[in-house]
Amino acid sequence: MDKTFDAAEAEGRIYARWEEQGCFRAGANARPGAETFCIVIPPPNVTGSLHMNEQRKRTGDVPISIGLGIHTGETVIGTVGSDDRMDSTVLGDAVNLASRIESLTKQFEAKILISSTTYGLIAGDPTIRCREIGLVNVRGRGEPDTIYELLCRHPHASFQVG
Pair 104, 112: CB distance under 8 Å? no
Q: Note the pLDDT tens digit of each residue in 68-114.
A: 999 998 888 888 877 778 888 888 888 889 999 999 998 998 989 99
Task: Report d(CA 151, CA 162) in Å as an integer.
Answer: 13
The DSSP H or E segment spanning 150 is strand 145-153
Partners of 135 in the beta sheet? 146
Domain boundaries, the chain: 1-65, 67-162
Distance of CA 39 to the CA centre of its chain: 7
At 135, give phi and psi (nearest 5°). -80, 125
Report the CATH number of the 67-162 domain: 3.30.70.1230
What integer pLDDT is reported at residue 91 of this predicted model? 86
d(Cα 16, Cα 54) in Å, to the nearest integer? 24
Do the Cβ atoms of 26 and 37 come closer than 8 Å? no
pLDDT level of residue 9 (50, 70, 90 thresholds)? confident
**Position 155 confidence tier, pLDDT thresholds 50, 70, 90:** low
User: Helices 7-20 and 46-58 meet at what angle, rounded to 10?
Assistant: 130
pTM of the complete model beyond 0.75: no
Residue 39 pLDDT grade (very low, low, confident, very high; cuts 50, 70, 90): low
List, for residues 115-126, the tens digit of each pLDDT value: 999 999 988 888
Residue 40: predicted pLDDT:
53
